[in-house]
Amino acid sequence: MQASATARATLSRWYWAVPYLAVTVLALSMLAVVWLLQERETEVERDALARDLQWTEQSIRRAMLTTEEFLVQLARDLSAGTLDHDGFQLRANEHLAINPALSNLAWVDREHVITWPAPFDTRDLLTGEILVDDQVEAFQNSVLSARLTYGRPYVDSRGAAVLEVFAPVLRRGESLGAIVAVYSLERMLSRLVPARFAEKYRLAILDRAGQVLALSSALPEAQQPLSLTLALDPPGNGLALQAMAFRPGGAVLRYLPSALIVGLSLVVLWSVWTLRRHVQRRVRVEKERDQLFDLSLDLLCVIDLDGRFGRCNPAFERVLGHDPRSLPGRSLIDFVHAEDVAETLSMLRRLASGEPVRFETRCRCADGSYKWLMWSINPVREERLVYAVAHDVTGRKATEDALRAESAFRKAMEDSVVTGLRAIDLSGRIIYVNSAFCRMIGFDEDELVGAGPPFPYWPPEQLAECERNLSMTLSGRAPRSGFEMRILRKNGERFDARFYLSPLIDLTGRQTGWMASITDITEPKRVRAALESAHERFEAVLDGLDAAVFVADARTDEILFANLAFKRIHGFDAVGRTVRGVAVPQPERGDYRVDPRNLSPADVPRELFDGELLHPQSGRWYHVREQATRWVDGRVVRMGIATDITDRKRTAEVAREQEERLQRTARLITMGEMASTLAHELNQPLAAIANYCAGSVTRLQSGKGRTEDVLAAMQKASFQAERAGKIIRRVREFVKKSEPQRCAVDLVEVLEDAIGFADIDAHRTRIRIHTELAPDLPPVYADRIMIEQVLLNLIRNGLDAMADTLPEARVLTVRVSTVGADAVEVAVIDRGHGISEEGRAQLFTPFYTTKVEGMGMGLNICRSIIEFHNGRLLVDANPEGGTIFTFTLPTESAIERSARSA
Amino acid sequence: MSVVPAAPDQIVHVVDDDEALRDSLAWMLEANGHAVAAHESGEAFLAACEPGMTGCVLLDVRMPGMSGLEVFEELGRRRCGLPVVFITGHGDVPMAVSALKQGAVDFVEKPFGEREMLRVVEQCLRLERETRDRRQQEAETARRLEQLTQREREVLELIIVGKLNKQIADVLGISIKTVEVHRARVMEKMGAHSLAELVQHVVALEPGASTR
């Protein structure tokens, strides 16, 4: 693998050499092509140059040949002597005008003296001047050779290069002199060469040594010029014509392509190098990432937004057992536990909306088991892909579940215990309370946790004690049995609690505080106290009784228990002795309903005796009650209660006497009241009578009274007098009898009289008095006035009771009926406010009253009267509201019968 | 069922629930020349009661429905000027006394004699008549005072306080003659025949009436 990597590296290096090589070759071939093209161009230019140069040389030579012919002709004419000075001048000047390259013409005699110079205005060759050395030499050569001879070019006095041609003038072989023509080399170039050449080329004439004699242009000499030199005839003089081409653009243009090629190639090479560096870096990073991807212990994958796996790392195999290569294309949902599918789908939807999500799901492993995975997924929206990381949290989940179960268990345990728990740290601050404690004291957990002393549940009156307990706790001196404390509930109630304390130890074994368990001991305490007090009460009650109480075995008669009263009467050593032995007043054996000695526990309890007995020694009366009952140990006992009723008996007699006295007094009082009322009633008729009489008298006295008017008034007056008389009669009847006088009485008459009285009140209070009388009522044997008083009393009570009754219900009913043959019953039924249960019980007590002005004697006396008549007065609640008073009276016949039988 | 007799300007109103008493009282009073209106209850009387009625009221204290005292209070509320006499039965005396304190004229206890009743009734009627006359006289005087000019009133005030004509002239800065003229006109307008009469009339008016 190492070898192949190396080989791959080498190969990649070779790959990398190819672009370099290619670029280099390309550059070189480009350069070659450019060079070739330039060479070709140069060649073409050179050919053009050569052509042009030859053309120029030809034109120069043609001009020179013309001049030569002219000179030869002229020389011939001179030799022939046909030419004088003027002719010479004419022809020379003419020629000079045609040939601008020529600057001068002159006739030089044999003595080398210039004889005839042309043109006329020349300043170079002046008549009389003698030729110089070089001229002489050329002169001689021409003369000697009898041919045209070119002198050596030279630079004249004015700095211009000139070339002289000598044409000998011979006459029969004898030299007469020579004609000299002077060429200006510069003019030759400027005049004989066409202008287009001059623009295109730089033309120069060179001497034999190569020195430039004349130049066609002032243009500077180009570098590396393309030049061509051509020998210029006449030969021997060594003159040469040189042409140099002007290159357009010059060197820059010439070298630009190459420079560009080289430059661009370098740029390409540089960029390739940079690219390579970059690619190498990328490759390295990618390699690292791949390694991260492959070596990660977490599951890494790419998922599309539909939840389909893309690439998955090998951790899938390690964790879930799935081959990562088999996963791409399959959906994540296929692997999710059925219960987690909904959540996973919602998470995928959130992903699709671009939110990063974290969630935990169970995923199926290859072996079918499930593992908890925590997914962290970040969506990359542009790519419609998500990069997902999943961490195997199965272990953590299991731990969490276990922890949760444990905590729930503990919570349930805490909540269910009734013992309050409270933990404080070492500074006394509450760090924990359980719900039982909260319930116990009524404070919320929030109010307690964090609180320091004094705690809110300390009763203000016991702060000092509470603080002492707390400091004992904190110093570890709290008693093992705990301590009792009074606790203040939030609602202000107080209760007693017992605190048990134990140190609170943390994981490292260090003590972090104190845990207290608190028990509400109010109830046990209360029960104990209740029991104790019940016992005390029991004894106190029994000892406090005036009645002597004993318990004796039914069979042996042994006294098992005796209360204080018993002991006081029969000796404090009574317990243990027999009842007979201590001579308690008790019934003889025969007086018992059953013989107590034969009773079995199943027969009890049952009453044995209830009666009054006289104590033979002391002469005191006892009410003795004995009962057979079951004693605490299961045997049958007699329980006896003997109450001294001597005083009660005496009191009852006194009371009876008093009542009789009272009745008499009350009767008088009632009669007084009655008389007063009747007197009041009398006022009305009396006043009316007086008025009628007075009115009548006045009328009669004045004589104005009509008889019938007065008569009517007198009748009214007598009627009123009757009314008054009735009232008076009633009063008299009422008062005169101080003792009851019984006789046969028609009850209906009595009732009518009573109602007649009561009507006054009934009328005022708008109450209807309704009577229901049974037909054929027998006469009763009674005191008429007394019975009337009873009736009146009961009716008035009924009327008073209905003062607040609704008007439509204001009916008082008096019902008279027979009860068997011997009695008549009268019921007075009102619809008033009624009498309460307690009220009814006290109804007949003297001086008991519900009326503001009442004396409380009425009903009591009524009962006395009825009972005097051997009847009964009863009171009952009216089912329709109100009260029913009922009394019975014996009929006359019943009394007669009883009198006879007696 | 009020029995309203004809003519006389003063009517004795008898209010009592007991028919015999009511009827006999009316009989007796009529025999003595009084016009009587009998009413069977306080409510009936109040219904018949009109402003401007003259006479007096005999009111039974104890009646079903409105008691005599309640009727009396209602009359006070209505500003009825009729004098009221209470008729009381046995035991109603304290009640009647309190009624007297509140402005009743008198009370008569049942049974009452003819003479006593007549005395009380006549006293009442006289009282009522006098009060009525006084009211009329005062109204007349007030009306006459209204007719006086400012200067005449000034003169009158000075006359009443006993100033002589000369003194009056000095106080008011007028001549004695003028005072005399004013004085004569005052006497004439006030319908007084003498100085004493004039003073009596004016002073009988409630204080301040003359100096409005």
User: What CATH number corresponds to the domain at position A511?
Assistant: 3.30.450.20
Contact B28, A691 (CB under 8 A): yes
B55 to chain A, closest Cα gap in Å: 20
Q: Which residues of A touch B111 (CB under 8 A)?
A: 683, 686-687, 690
A752 to chain B, closest Cα gap in Å: 22
What is the pLDDT at residue B208? Answer: 47
> Is A405 exposed, middle or buried (CB count within 10 Å of its CB: 0-12, 13-18, 19+)?
exposed
A793 to chain B, closest Cα gap in Å: 22
Residues A333-340: what's their mean pLDDT?
Answer: 86
pLDDT band at A828 (very low <50, low <70, confident <90, very high): very high
What is the pLDDT at residue B210? Answer: 42
Interchain pair A720, B18: CB under 8 A: no
Query: Looking at the structure, do residues A626 and A766 belong to the same domain, yes or no?
Result: no
**Pairing label, strands A226-231, A309-312:** unpaired
Q: Which residues of A touch B29 (CB under 8 A)?
A: 695
Q: Which residues of A touch B90 (CB under 8 A)?
A: 676, 679-680, 683
Task: Tally the domains of chain A.
Answer: 6
Interchain pair A684, B31: CB under 8 A: no
B31 to chain A, closest Cα gap in Å: 5
Nearest to A177 by CA among A192, A191, A185, A166: A166
What is the pLDDT at residue B179? Answer: 86
Please work out, in degrees rounded to the nearest 5, the angle formed at the alpha carbon of residue A639 by the alpha carbons of A635 and A645: 175
pLDDT band at A284 (very low <50, low <70, confident <90, very high): very high
What is the pLDDT at residue A420? Answer: 85
Query: Looking at the structure, do residues A842 and A895 belong to the same domain, yes or no?
Result: yes
What is the pLDDT at residue A250? Answer: 62
What is the pLDDT at residue A659? Answer: 72
Query: Looking at the structure, do residues A361 and A454 belong to the same domain, yes or no?
Result: no
Interchain pair B112, A702: CB under 8 A: no
Measured CA to CA, the distance from residue A856 to residue A865 in angstroms comes to 15
Interchain pair B91, A716: CB under 8 A: no
Class of domain B148-211: mainly alpha
A816 to chain B, closest Cα gap in Å: 31
Interchain pair A684, B24: CB under 8 A: no
Helix axes A185-192, A2-79, angle to 10 degrees: 110
DSSP at B64: S
DSSP assignment of A236-299: TS--EEEEEEPPSSHHHHHHHHHHHHHHHHHHHHHHHHHHHHHHHHHHHHHHHHHHHHHH-SSE
Query: Looking at the structure, do residues A396 and A375 belong to the same domain, yes or no?
Result: yes
Interchain pair A694, B31: CB under 8 A: yes
Q: Spell out the per-residue pLDDT of chain B, length 212, in tens.
A: 333 343 357 889 999 888 888 998 898 888 888 889 999 988 999 998 888 788 899 988 878 888 888 888 888 888 887 888 888 876 667 777 777 887 888 888 877 888 888 899 988 888 888 888 888 888 888 888 888 888 888 888 888 888 888 888 888 888 888 888 888 888 888 877 887 878 877 776 655 444 44
Q: Which residues of A touch B25 (CB under 8 A)?
A: 687, 691
What is the pLDDT at residue A32? Answer: 92
Q: What is the complex's ipTM, to 2 decimals?
A: 0.72
B23, B28, B90: residue with CB nearest A680: B90
Query: Looking at the structure, do residues A516 and A556 belong to the same domain, yes or no?
Result: no
A685, A695, A697: residue with CB nearest B30: A695
Contact B171, B158 (CB under 8 A): yes
Interchain pair B90, A676: CB under 8 A: yes
DSSP at A761: H
B18, B89, B114: residue with CB nearest A694: B114
Query: Looking at the structure, do residues A745 and A734 belong to the same domain, yes or no?
Result: no
Residue whose pair of structure tokens reads 């010439």 in the numeric block: A254
pLDDT band at A737 (very low <50, low <70, confident <90, very high): low
Between these two residues, A575 and A264, which has the higher pLDDT value? A264
B38 to chain A, closest Cα gap in Å: 14
Residue whose pair of structure tokens reads 């309050």 in the numeric block: A420
pLDDT more than 70, % of chain A = 91
This prediction has a pTM of: 0.32
Is the per-residue pLDDT at A569 higher than 50? yes
Query: Looking at the structure, do residues A711 and A744 belong to the same domain, yes or no?
Result: no
B154 to chain A, closest Cα gap in Å: 57
Closest residue in A to B30 (Cα) is: A695
Nearest to A861 by CA among A726, A666, A706: A666
A593-607 pLDDT, tens digit each: 778 787 888 877 888
Is residue A26 assigned to a domain? no
Nearest to A647 by CA among A672, A673, A621: A621
Query: Looking at the structure, do residues A121 and A154 belong to the same domain, yes or no?
Result: yes
Contact A205, A212 (CB under 8 A): yes
Written as one letter, the residue type at B127 is L
A683, A695, A766: residue with CB nearest B31: A695
Most B-contacting residue of A691, A708, A719 (CB-CB within 10 A), to test interface:
A691
The answer to whether residue B110 neighbours chain A at the CB level (below 8 Å) is yes
Written as one letter, the residue type at A769 is I
Q: Which residues are CB-contacts of A493 (< 8 A; sequence separation ≥ 6)?
A: A442
CATH number, domain at A713?
Answer: 1.10.287
Please count the other Cβ atoms lying within 10 Å of the Cβ belonging to residue A742: 16
Show the domain range for A750: 739-902
pLDDT band at A25 (very low <50, low <70, confident <90, very high): very high
Contact A80, A176 (CB under 8 A): no
Is the per-residue pLDDT at A438 higher than 80? yes
Query: Looking at the structure, do residues A95 and A186 belong to the same domain, yes or no?
Result: yes
* Residues 39-78 in B contacting A (C-alpha not used; CB under 8 Å): 64
Candidate CATH numbers 3.40.718.10, 3.90.550.10, 3.40.50.2300, 3.40.50.1100; the one for domain B11-135 = 3.40.50.2300
Query: Looking at the structure, do residues A106 and A210 belong to the same domain, yes or no?
Result: yes
What is the pLDDT at residue A847? Answer: 57
> Is A781 exposed, middle or buried (CB count within 10 Å of its CB: 0-12, 13-18, 19+)?
buried
Q: Which residues of A touch B112 (CB under 8 A)?
A: 687, 690
Query: Looking at the structure, do residues A579 and A658 belong to the same domain, yes or no?
Result: no
Numbered residues of chain A with Cβ closer than 8 Å to any chain B Cβ:
676, 679-680, 683-692, 694-699, 702, 704-705, 713, 716-717, 719-720, 723, 763-764, 766
pLDDT band at A36 (very low <50, low <70, confident <90, very high): very high
What is the pLDDT at residue B87? Answer: 86
A688, A704, A763: residue with CB nearest B20: A688
Q: Which residues of A touch B30 (CB under 8 A)?
A: 695
Q: Which of A83-97, A197-211, A679-693 has the lowest mean pLDDT?
A: A197-211
Q: Which residues are CB-contacts of A498 (< 8 A; sequence separation ≥ 6)?
A: A482, A483, A484, A485, A518, A519, A521
The answer to whether residue B23 neighbours chain A at the CB level (below 8 Å) is yes
> Which phi and psi angles does B49 have, rounded to 5°?
-70, 130
> Which phi and psi angles does B30 have, rounded to 5°?
-65, -40
Query: Looking at the structure, do residues A792 and A850 belong to the same domain, yes or no?
Result: yes
Measured CA to CA, the distance from residue A695 to residue A714 in angstroms comes to 10
Interchain pair B111, A683: CB under 8 A: yes
Measured CA to CA, the distance from residue A573 to residue A537 in angstroms comes to 23
The answer to whether residue B30 neighbours chain A at the CB level (below 8 Å) is yes
Q: Which long-range contacts (CB under 8 A, 24 or more apart) does A350-359 make?
A: A351/A305, A351/A377, A351/A379, A351/A386, A352/A305, A352/A379, A354/A379, A354/A381, A355/A379
Average pLDDT, chain A: 82
What is the pLDDT at residue A309? Answer: 85
B32, B89, B111: residue with CB nearest A690: B111
Is residue A466 assigned to a domain? yes
What is the pLDDT at residue A813? Answer: 92
Measured CA to CA, the distance from residue B180 to residue B161 in angstroms comes to 16
Q: Which residues of B touch A702 (CB under 8 A)?
A: 31
Q: Which residues of A touch B114 (CB under 8 A)?
A: 690-691, 694, 698
Nearest to A798 by CA among A855, A859, A888: A859
Between these two residues, A851 and B84, which has the higher pLDDT value? B84
Q: Domain boundary residue among A460, A494, A520?
A: A520
Contact A603, A629 (CB under 8 A): no
Q: Domain boundary residue among A738, A759, A780?
A: A738
pLDDT more than 90, % of chain A = 5
Measured CA to CA, the distance from residue B66 to residue B15 in angstroms comes to 11
Q: What are the boundaries of each domain within chain B?
A: 11-135, 148-211
Between these two residues, A252 and A248, which has the higher pLDDT value? A252
Measured CA to CA, the distance from residue B143 to residue B131 in angstroms comes to 18
Closest residue in B to A693 (Cα) is: B28
Interchain pair A713, B90: CB under 8 A: no
Helices (DSSP H) in A296-329: which residue ranges? Answer: 315-319
**What does the block give as tokens for A522?**
């109010």
Q: Which residues of B touch A766 (CB under 8 A)?
A: 64
* Residues 179-198 in B contacting A (C-alpha not used; CB under 8 Å): none
Q: Domain boundary residue among A520, A538, A563?
A: A520
A683, A716, A763: residue with CB nearest B23: A716
Helices (DSSP H) in A80-105: which residue ranges? Answer: 85-98
Is residue A253 assigned to a domain? no
Q: What is the 3-state secondary structure of A529-550?
A: HHHHHHHHHHHHHHHHCCCEEE
**What does the block give as tokens for A469?**
């307990």
